[in-house]
Structure 1
């Protein structure tokens, strides 16, 4: 069939609908794991999600790098899609902040009428949370340097700077897990602990996703598959990482400093 527009018409693919159902099963797996402490549905749905995402990304990579289907109009569509996705994520975390501030402003009698609740020892904002803030801010600077060096044609510096960004994100994740390990409360202790683990946990999940995206870009950099004129995937990954930085800054102010 003759094409009467400049957009790329993708071939029929099972991965979008398969990935959608994988996301649904992943959410259900999280609920099952939290309520009944059964992690097998969660691990199975996580495997399906990673599997479908890998195959979908492989097809998109093939269309852009080897078939030359990603022209200017297609890349603009990718960028607009990423912008709308980040906006939807902003409203997702807005719900977390709304819940925290609402519960903090009107603490229930069942938790002692105070916030944090009686018996809950909140974290020192000058400890691990501050260190994690420094790590994420540093990673935001390093990934910006990566983008700038790529536009200047310095791919060696881009590779090193992007590697530093991935390492900083990995260290952040390890310190966040350490914070969970030494916490004096669990997910089901109170409304404070529930909203704390939901907010910081989902942010940690976004850090893992962002680290995985940047790690993929790192491999693409090493094989010279990214250039200033062919970098929409890397640019979207950088936007996502900056979004993760900004969300953590507000999480740090609200969850750790405010009301402690």
Structure 2
């Protein structure tokens, strides 16, 4: 009788009351307050809050908010994994999880559309930027006068090869779990995580040696915003895959139940595709007729 009551009689999962949504919101709020206090501190300003200058405690506030968010992420996703092992992720629930991931990636696509829009708006109409902008003059050409661009066939091409290889290794890992090949799953994930870390190191090296800065011109601003946010997504995706690797080593995934891995693979392929657009437009197309840094 107890067993009959414990098993769901429908395809939907009625989630138990959870503290994680409100705790996540609280952590995000504390992080935001800490971030504002940090920015006020950097410009030597004050951030009064009930008579207390929070700008002097920006590190502490931001760190507390970050810890709350990280703990919430760990606890919330742990509960999700536990629910899956308990059989709550029925066919309908699994389908809706996939719909949710698809909608999330669609929102990420629109996020990057904004940065591409900013880049192409400035690059295709540099004369209008020259006419109306006060601090982001282009000289009527693109890239702006005086800007030396990065060689697209050096580090950017190297990173393109890295991401394309990582796309094949994560696909290998996905196909391995479908055929219950745990060794292939672990090897594919490990290689993908390694390639993701390598990409981030290469991009950091590129940023340190970039011949232009963020605030030098609208070229630098659009370049660093688009490629920087992509680099941030690579870091998030690498962590996502690292968690999947740890779970794979623990034996969590099965050929029939591995949505966490599947979602990570979708996200990583999205990161790959965005980079291909970045490489072809911001690195290659924008370098036509421009002065390449390090060349005479």
Q: What is the TM-score of this pair, normalised by structure 2?
A: 0.80
1:205 has 2:232 as partner: yes
1:251 has 2:275 as partner: no
C-alpha root-mean-square deviation of aligned residues, in Å?
2.5
In the alignment, which residue of structure 2 is the partner of 1:123?
Answer: 150
Indicate how the Cα distance of structure 1 residues 36 and 199 shifts in structure 2: closer, same or farther if over 3 A, else same.
farther
Indicate how the Cα distance of structure 1 residues 21 and 248 shifts in structure 2: closer, same or farther if over 3 A, else same.
farther
8 A contact 2:105–2:267 mirrored in 1: yes
* Aligned residue runs from structure 1 range 17-32, under 5 A: 17-20=22-25, 22-23=27-28
Offset of residue 23 of structure 1: 4.8
Indicate how the Cα distance of structure 1 residues 188 and 44 shifts in structure 2: closer, same or farther if over 3 A, else same.
farther
* Aligned residue runs from structure 1 range 151-170, under 5 A: 151-170=178-197
2:286 is paired with a residue whose SS is: coil
Indicate how the Cα distance of structure 1 residues 28 and 126 shifts in structure 2: closer, same or farther if over 3 A, else same.
farther
> What is the alpha-carbon distance in structure 2 between the residues aligned to residue 193 and residue 30 of structure 1?
23
1:64 has 2:84 as partner: yes
- CA offsets per residue over residues 152-178 of structure 1, 9 Å max, x none? 121111111110000000000111111
In the alignment, which residue of structure 1 is the partner of 2:16?
Answer: 11
1:48 has 2:68 as partner: yes
> What is the alpha-carbon distance in structure 2 between the residues aligned to residue 239 and residue 178 of structure 1?
27
Residue ranges of structure 1 left out of the alignment (5+ in a row): none
Offset of residue 43 of structure 1: 5.1
Offset of residue 254 of structure 1: 1.1
8 A contact 2:11–2:92 mirrored in 1: yes
> What is the alpha-carbon distance in structure 1 between the residues aligned to residue 116 and residue 39 of structure 2?
21
Indicate how the Cα distance of structure 1 residues 29 and 80 shifts in structure 2: closer, same or farther if over 3 A, else same.
farther
> What is the alpha-carbon distance in structure 2 between the residues aligned to residue 148 and residue 198 of structure 1?
35
**Which has the larger displacement, 122-131 or 29-38?**
29-38
> What is the alpha-carbon distance in structure 2 between the residues aligned to residue 21 and residue 115 of structure 1?
44
Residue ranges of structure 2 left out of the alignment (5+ in a row): 44-57, 131-136, 288-296
Indicate how the Cα distance of structure 1 residues 237 and 88 shifts in structure 2: closer, same or farther if over 3 A, else same.
same
Indicate how the Cα distance of structure 1 residues 34 and 178 shifts in structure 2: closer, same or farther if over 3 A, else same.
farther
Indicate how the Cα distance of structure 1 residues 90 and 9 shifts in structure 2: closer, same or farther if over 3 A, else same.
same
Indicate how the Cα distance of structure 1 residues 28 and 168 shifts in structure 2: closer, same or farther if over 3 A, else same.
farther
In the alignment, which residue of structure 2 is the partner of 1:172?
Answer: 199
In the alignment of these two chains, the number of paired residues is 259
4+ long deviations beyond 6 Å: 1-4, 27-36
**Which has the larger displacement, 125-134 or 186-195?**
186-195
Q: What is the TM-score of this pair, normalised by structure 1?
A: 0.90
> What is the alpha-carbon distance in structure 2 between the residues aligned to residue 205 and residue 185 of structure 1?
20
Indicate how the Cα distance of structure 1 residues 132 and 22 shifts in structure 2: closer, same or farther if over 3 A, else same.
farther
2:96 corresponds, among 74, 77, 81, to 77
